[in-house]
Amino acid sequence: MAREYVVTIPVVGFISYTVEVDDDASSENDARKEAIELAWKAYEDDEDHRSVEWNAIERISTGNVSHAPVNEISVEKG
């Protein structure tokens, strides 16, 4: 007899955007906000969500070790 299972897979990933903002004291904060807005817009505009890449992993962390490829937002000047 077959049995049905619900399998939950931890998913992590990242999205990189190049954005232009005024170069002042708050430019990194502005860059973060702009990139987040662009990411959500791209996701909402893509009905099939084909432009989003996901990485499935066995576990997100073990003890104090993270296995996620990216752990926080980073901003690099271009």
Q: What is the pLDDT of residues 15-59, one digit of tens each?
A: 788 888 888 878 888 898 888 888 888 777 777 766 666 666 778
- Label residue 15 exposed, middle or buried (CB < 10 Å: 0-12, 13-18, 19+): middle
The whole-number pLDDT of residue 41 equals 83
Give the dihedral of Cα atoms 37, 76, 29, 46; nearest 10 deg.
10
The whole-number pLDDT of residue 61 equals 86
Of all helices (H) and strands (E), which one includes residue 65? strand 65-66
Task: With a cut of 80, say whether residue 14 has pLDDT above it.
Answer: no
Task: With a cut of 90, say whether residue 63 has pLDDT above it.
Answer: yes
| Lowest pLDDT segment from 5-9, 17-21, 35-39, 71-75 | 71-75
The whole-number pLDDT of residue 17 equals 84
